[in-house]
Each structure stands twice: as structure tokens, then as C-alpha cells.
Copies of this chain bind each other. A is one copy, B any other.
Amino acid sequence: MRVLFEEIVFGTKRKEQIVDITGEVRAVLNRWGVQDGIVVIFAPHATASIVLNENEPGLERDILNLFNLIAPTDADYHHNRIDNNAHAHLRSAAFPPYVVVPVKNGKMLLGAWQRIMFVENDGPRAQRRVIVEYMGE
């Protein structure tokens, strides 16, 4: 059994932003030369999300609108008495900061329209991290 870790590190530029990391995850798996297993893509942040969906500019806006619908930026939150980012925490609670994807013959078994998208809910941030963990053969 192999258990492998890598970190993808990047900055975000806007308050809310979607960053497609599918290519980076694929590159890591290819470099490792893995076979059959799973990959866990995990952001160690309480104000970020990872969403599995189509990467299309209009849909990106719809997704960010949905995030804003679930937890509006400027609602009256209790957490904002000590910080100013409750909406971002709630979005990370509702849209969790990780996904698990099957890997077969070294390839993620994603559908044609499924991309791995990091969602910044509390940017901009100089450094965001995503852990890529492979476990399998």
C-alpha cells in the first residue's frame, strides 16, 4: 500500500473566488505514478470549500450566488462580534472543504463535466493550501 501526500499552495485575489485545481491534482497523481486507490483533496481551512462540478464561467457565478444565498455576507451573525467572517465559516460548513475521488489505473474517475474547484469564501488570502493525499496501490 502507498500513502502519498502533496500540498498545492496558491493565493487568492478576491473576496469570493473559484480556483479550478483539477489540473494540479492530476499532475501530482501522474508524477507519483499511482495505480488503484482513492485521492482525498482536503483544504485545511475553516472558511474554504471544495466543490465538484462543471467549470463554466456562468455556472461559477451561479455557484457563488448560491453560496451567498445560503450564508449572505452581511447578515447579522453572532460570530461577527468577535470576527467578521461568519458567512465564510457557514459556507465552509455547508459546502465542506474536501472531496474524495476514486482513482483507477492512475486516473481519477471523474465524469466529463466534473472538475475539482476550490472556493475561497474569505479572501483575498496570500496563501491557501490544499492537501492531496493518495492511498492505494
Chain B residue numbers with a CB within 8 Å of A43 are 111
Complexed CA–CA distance, A45 and B78 (Å): 29
Complexed CA–CA distance, A86 and B70 (Å): 17
| 8 Å CB contact of A79 from B42, B56, B131 | B56
A123 at the B interface (CB under 8 A): no
In addition to A5-B104, A45-B111, A52-B98, 11 A-B residue pairs with Cβ atoms within 8 Å of each other are: A44-B114, A46-B113, A52-B92, A58-B79, A58-B80, A59-B77, A62-B79, A62-B89, A66-B70, A98-B99, A98-B101
Task: Point out residues on A near B: beta carbons under 8 Å.
Answer: 1, 3, 5, 36-38, 40, 42-47, 51-54, 56-59, 61-63, 66, 70-71, 77-82, 86, 89-90, 92-102, 104, 109-114, 131, 133, 135-137
